[in-house]
């Protein structure tokens, strides 16, 4: 290997190191801290848990602290049905709204990709335009619309669709509505990206081989847009599971989503160890779909080769 190559490969290695350093600094280290707290005990102290690593006591202090760690907080999560209900509720809402997002997002992305070339930038801007307004303001706007005497009920009454104004706020419907509304661009854009770069001659080839347009959609367009749908689904599902603001502002306080439970443990109960345990379990739940997706992809690759 020449000197130049050696230098370059060092440079390359350094560049490759950057994302790992980033992950280590902003993901791994915080995660280890949370993991450690989840194994600690609540205490009326600052910070509100024990043990705290006693750096002054040296190595033996660290050993002593580690020896008192326990899994009791995880046991609590298992024994109190509140947590389980919370997890299930979160997964249910995330799965349901991801499905809704797919059903609504796909036609929008398809329409965008099929729009005349010169209109595409305009449509694109329209889809991302909501981001120009603060997320909180948009959710507060929904509260206004969904109130008992809000715009939605006024419209329904005016059109004589209902006689009594139904309650929308503090229902799951409102949560679904808020989530689908907020996350739609995250579903539309990846699907649009795959549809947009799809080779149109493939559809012509399908037609040439005896396939009417609607069938070509099922046999060609849909399978080819799968990567976009998977990316959109992951991009929506994962943050929705941990969603806090939308269910807190639009949903009921009956069953909480896991983000709300987490918030309550941290700030209302000041129980950092249990809150950390909730977060660790949540993370494990969220890693699962990604791992499954990776598995599917490697299997596909293996089959192709």
- Cβ neighbours of residue 131 closer than 8 Å, sequence gap 6 or more: 185
179 within 8 A of 240, measured Cβ to Cβ: yes
- Choose between 227 and 242: whose C-beta lies nearer to other proteins: 227
* Closer Cβ to other proteins, 213 or 254, answer by number: 213
**Shortest CB 288 distance to other proteins, Å:** 26
Q: Does 67 bind other proteins (CB under 8 A)?
A: no
Task: Decide if residue 116 touches other proteins (CB under 8 A).
Answer: no
Residue 230 binding other proteins, by CB under 8 A: no
Which of residues 226 and 270 has its CB atom nearest to other proteins in the complex? 226
Do residues 237 and 186 make contact, with C-beta atoms less than 8 angstroms apart?
A: no
- Which residue's structure tokens are 């596909």? 300
Q: Which is nearer to other proteins, 149 or 200 (CB)?
A: 200
Of the ranges 15-23, 104-112, 146-154, 297-305, which one interacts with other proteins (CB under 8 A)? Answer: 297-305
**Contact status: 12 vs other proteins (CB under 8 A):** no
Question: For 211-232, b where at least 16 C-beta lie within 10 A, e where not — what string?
Answer: beeeebeeebbeebbeebbbbb
Residues with Cβ within 8 Å of 262's Cβ and at least 6 positions away in sequence, in order, are 242, 244, 275, 278, 279, 282
Cα separation, 74 vs 36, whole angstroms: 12
Q: Does 299 bind other proteins (CB under 8 A)?
A: no
**Minimum distance from CB of 203 to other proteins (Å)?**
9
Contact between residue 256 and residue 89 where contact means Cβ atoms under 8 Å apart: yes
Site string for other proteins, 183-202 (x = CB under 8 A): ----------------x-xx
- Cβ atoms of residues 285 and 237 within 8 Å: no
Contact residues toward other proteins (CB under 8 A) are 199, 201-202, 204-212, 215, 219-220, 223-224, 226, 303-305
């Amino acid at each position: 290997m020449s000197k130049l190559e050696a230098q370059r490969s060092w440079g390359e290695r350094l560049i490759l190191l950057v994302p790992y350093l980033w992950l280590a600094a902003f993901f791994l280290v915080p995660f280890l801290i949370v993991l450690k707290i989840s194994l600690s005990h609540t205490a009326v102290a600052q910070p509100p848990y024990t043990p705290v690593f006693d750096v002054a006591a040296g190595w033996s202090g660290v050993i002593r602290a580690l020896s008192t760690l326990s899994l009791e907080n995880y046991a609590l999560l298992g024994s109190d049905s509140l947590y389980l209900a919370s997890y299930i509720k979160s997964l249910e809402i995330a799965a349901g709204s991801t499905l809704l997002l797919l059903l609504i997002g796909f036609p929008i992305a398809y329409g965008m990709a099929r729009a005349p070339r010169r209109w595409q930038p305009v449509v694109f801007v329209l889809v991302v335009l909501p981001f120009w307004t603060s997320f909180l303001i948009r959710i507060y706007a929904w509260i206004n619309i969904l109130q008992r005497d809000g715009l939605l009920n006024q419209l329904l009454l005016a059109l004589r669709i209902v006689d009594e104004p139904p309650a929308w706020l503090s229902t799951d419907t409102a949560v679904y509505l808020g989530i689908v509304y907020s996350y739609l661009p995250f579903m539309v854009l990846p699907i649009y990206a795959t549809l947009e770069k799809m080779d149109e001659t493939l559809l012509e080839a399908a037609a040439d081989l005896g396939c009417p347009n609607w069938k070509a959609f099922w046999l060609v367009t849909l399978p080819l847009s799968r990567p976009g749908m998977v990316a959109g689904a992951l991009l929506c599902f994962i943050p929705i599971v941990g969603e806090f603001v939308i269910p807190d502002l639009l949903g009921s306080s009956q069953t909480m989503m896991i983000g709300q439970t987490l918030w309550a443990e941290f700030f209302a109960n000041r129980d950092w160890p249990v809150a950390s345990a909730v977060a660790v379990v949540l993370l494990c739940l969220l890693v699962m779909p990604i791992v499954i997706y990776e598995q599917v992809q490697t299997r596909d690759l293996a089959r192709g080769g």
